[in-house]
Amino acid sequence: MEYISEVKINEAVIHILDRNGDDVIYNEFYLNLEDEEVIDFVSKHVTKALKDESVKYGKFIKKSIVNEYCNRFFRCEDDLLGASKLIAKRLYEVMKEDTNIPSCDLMVVSILSDLGPLMGIFKMDYIKNYAHKVDVIGDKIGIDIISQFTGLPASSQKVLKCAFIKPFDENEKVNAYVIDKRLGKKIEGFNEDFFIDDFLNCNLERNQRDNTRDFLNMSEKWIRENYMDDAEKSYDIREGIKDKLEKESNIDLDELAEEVIQDEHLRGSFKEKIESSGVSNDIEVDKAFISNKFKRRRIRVDNNIDIYIDEDNYKDSSKFEVQRIGDGRINILIKNVENFIEK
């Protein structure tokens, strides 16, 4: 799995794609990255997206228009302003073909990373925010609250659809890193996959992180379906799975099921649940993903108590302990507390 840890923002530009208009409102200037608030806004969206666990690998189909526009920039045949206009026009054409695709701003960013140059493409859907409205009625002032739909996602929020494009090499397995939070979702016939299928025109390739993440998620779903009322067995199976993920580089589903699931009649359904998400029997573990995932644990107890604890304290028996009662219930102990505050 490829991970990007260092980025430098070179240039950025934003265009307005209002589907009620006749064309894109093209920007003729780059964003002012000397402004601390602007560079902070752009940088946080870039770094947040690259660290998102839902990032997928993309492989361009040869006829991809967006891929060609990006590579014109990488080959120095066009600057970012020119390339971004072509990319914005292509997305606008896709939007005009489907009335369900909402208006947005398109932010395009030139990035230098520790894995080489990238072009970031962000579909910035508008969010609802509120402002006051002042009216003068006779000799009196009236102030009301009105909603607006032109706000951009704050730097603390996640963008639903974005991509990071690499200089094209047909021999590489990965041409792009893609995020689509609405992937596979359909609302009254509207296919949210337009960003990947129609705009980027690329195929998604499964990677180590996909398999590791999906295995972990489907394991949790299976545990909830089969042991919701047995906290003791749930705990044992979860800990057995996490222990294997931390210690092993490859996991065989059959061997794992035999080791952590005592009821042999349920082992088959466990394997079926995992494989239903596209994960094969032999799982190559993404160790970086697991290390980050287990840095902090969130435990919900009986649907009304939440416990947040980092991995070191979770494994420190002098501070945290799970005790088996013997009837399917457990006690969770927080030990040797020296002080506490309320938030």
CB 15 within 8 A of CB 106: yes
Q: How many angstroms separate the Cα of 325 from the Cα of each of 206, 263, 318, 328?
A: 42, 20, 19, 7
Does residue 127 or residue 234 have the better pLDDT?
A: 234
- Torsion angle in degrees (nearest 10) through CA of 182, 94, 50, 166: 140
Residues 88-102, mean pLDDT to the nearest whole number = 92
The rounded mean pLDDT for the chain is 91
The gap between the terminal CA atoms of the chain, to the nearest Å, is: 39
pLDDT digits (tens, 9 = 90+) for 196-214: 999 999 999 888 999 999 9
- For residue 156, the SS3 value is coil
Tell me the percentage of the chain whose pLDDT exceeds 90: 73
Per-residue pLDDT tens for 297-316?
Answer: 999 998 889 999 999 999 99
Query: For residue range 275-299, what is the model confidence (pLDDT) as tens digits?
Result: 998 888 899 999 999 999 999 999 9
Confidence of residue 156 (pLDDT cuts 50, 70, 90): confident
CA dihedral 126, 132, 134, 137 (to 10 degrees): 110
CA angle 79/81/85 to nearest 5° reads 120
The residue to which tokens 């920039």 are assigned:
73
Q: In the prediction, which pLDDT does 148 show? A: 76
Q: Given pLDDT bands bounded at 50, 70 and 90, which one contains residue 189?
A: low
pLDDT at 88 over 90: yes
Comparing 168 with 32, the larger pLDDT belongs to 32
d(CA 33, CA 245): 42
